[in-house]
Amino acid sequence: MNLEQTDKAFVLSTYARNYTNFVEGMGATLYDENGRDYIDFASGIAVNSVGHANKILTEAIHEQSKKIIHISNLQVIEPQAKLAEKMVTLSGYDMSVFFGNSGAEANEGAIKIARKYGETKFKNKRYKVITLEHSFHGRTITTVKATGQDSFHTPNFSPYPDGFSYVKSIADIYTAIDNETVAVLIELVQGEGGVEPFAKAEIQELALFLKTEEILLIVDEVQTGVYRTGEFLASNLYEIEPDIVTLAKGLGGGVPIGAVMTSHKDIFAPGDHGSTFGGNYLSSAAGLAVLGILSEHYDTGGLHETMIYFEEKVKGILEKYTELFEKEVGLGLMRGLRAKDAETVSAILDRSMQEGVIVLRAGRNTVRFLPSLTITKGEIDEGFNRFEKALISL
């Protein structure tokens, strides 16, 4: 059997796969088994934050793997403690961190924190969580229910946990709150929902209101975090202080890791929550290397320059191809072009792949760009040259 046949025979069919077989990567460029190169504007859906085969990251992984890859969380793990310290320092918040393996696990942890807060803080139990339409918070049963998209709430996986409700806008949150509401869970830029940022002023107003009502603000930064929008956290960019922040994707540069940060540092007692693999030696060593690379890239101004350059390219495409796109959306290196319809998006993705540039789909008919944060101007130029060839060929 060839690779496609083997995959279809033995791997559960949960993805509409492209069967290009990538065997090597360098920076923001991937190479298939035939030696053809592709500019990667997807970075594993915002995961490969420092690109492919980054020397500092691969050396950190290699060196750690020669010593200890994993021990139980019943013992202290030095790189885990150092990674937590680094994250808290970069965030500027007075928080503690719990480590898991994914964004969904991080959001599960956030919901558990909120539920315990609602149980112990108030005379009458509070447990309800408000989220937004078009949101995405994970694939577990609970985080699917927290996701504000009806297409995810199929009868196939019901019954779902109760206690979640959805509103259309930030303004609608205020009237949706009742005496059982414990938290509001939002993304500051809705990634899977169409790369749609919320207005800074309305988020700041919401954060202040929730604080006065003692309702928790949970910010899902699984995709926006780790410098993706220009600051370590999008919450920093919006100048708010959430009660809980969730992270994953770019934190490990490709090594699975998720994290929950919270200002409620004493909310959990031993036994309340846990993870076998979360924050082990390998993943936390990778996280430390990634944050070292990206914090330096930020401090030197290189990240800011890259973001401006990439944004200009996206806007140039919008101005030139008005028959295909309605508007440009996003922040930092989380960008999107809103297409006229879903069929246009599908055609663009297919043609882009044929031209050797990898882009993504997001909700609301959006072509999404999530390049590595260390992508070079040369790779950006070549990627958009190929992307434009794809558009011309439609």
56-68 confidence digits (pLDDT tens): 999 999 999 999 9
Mean pLDDT of 234-247: 98
Question: Which CATH number is associated with domain 57-299?
Answer: 3.40.640.10
State what percent of residues in the chain have pLDDT above 70.
100
Mean pLDDT of 17-22: 96
CA 228, 230, 232, 236 torsion-angle sign: negative
pLDDT of residue 364: 83
pLDDT of residue 178: 97
Mean pLDDT of 353-375: 97
| Whether the Cβ atoms of residue 248 and residue 257 lie closer than 8 Å to each other | yes
pLDDT of residue 346: 96
| Strand segments (E) across the chain | 22-26, 29-32, 37-40, 96-100, 128-132, 164-167, 181-186, 189-190, 196-197, 216-220, 244-247, 258-262, 325-331, 334-339, 357-358, 360-362, 366-369
DSSP state of 239: T
pLDDT surpasses 90 at 168: yes
CA 244, 152, 337, 29 torsion-angle sign: positive
The band of 192, judged by pLDDT with boundaries at 50, 70 and 90, is confident
How does pLDDT run across 288-310, given as a tens digit for each residue? 999 999 999 999 999 999 999 99
Query: CATH 3.40.640.10: which residues of the chain?
Result: 57-299
Mean pLDDT of 198-215: 98
pLDDT surpasses 90 at 340: yes
The band of 329, judged by pLDDT with boundaries at 50, 70 and 90, is very high
The per-residue pLDDT of the chain, averaged, comes to 97
Question: How many C-beta atoms lie closer than 10 Å to residue 10's C-beta?
Answer: 8
Of 193 and 244, the one with more pLDDT: 244
How does pLDDT run across 89-126, given as a tens digit for each residue? 999 999 999 999 999 999 999 999 999 999 999 999 99
Mean pLDDT of 127-143: 96
pLDDT surpasses 90 at 380: yes
Q: What is the dihedral of CA 60, 64, 69, 73, to 10 degrees?
A: -90
> How far apart (Å, rounded) are the C-alpha atoms in residues 253 and 242?
25
> How far apart (Å, rounded) are the C-alpha atoms in residues 201 and 11?
46
* Residue 132 bridge partners (DSSP): 167
> How far apart (Å, rounded) are the C-alpha atoms in residues 334 and 373?
10
pLDDT surpasses 90 at 372: yes
pLDDT surpasses 90 at 21: yes
Q: What CATH fold (topology level) applies to the domain 301-370+377-394?
A: Aspartate Aminotransferase, domain 1 (3.90.1150)
Query: CATH 3.90.1150.10: which residues of the chain?
Result: 301-370+377-394
State what percent of residues in the chain have pLDDT above 90.
98
pLDDT surpasses 90 at 88: yes
| Number of continuous H segments (helices) and E segments (strands) in the chain | 13, 17
Q: Residues near 340 by Cβ (< 8 Å), separated by ≥ 6?
A: 323, 324, 325, 326, 365
Question: How many C-beta atoms lie closer than 10 Å to residue 382's C-beta?
Answer: 17
pLDDT of residue 342: 94
pLDDT of residue 48: 98
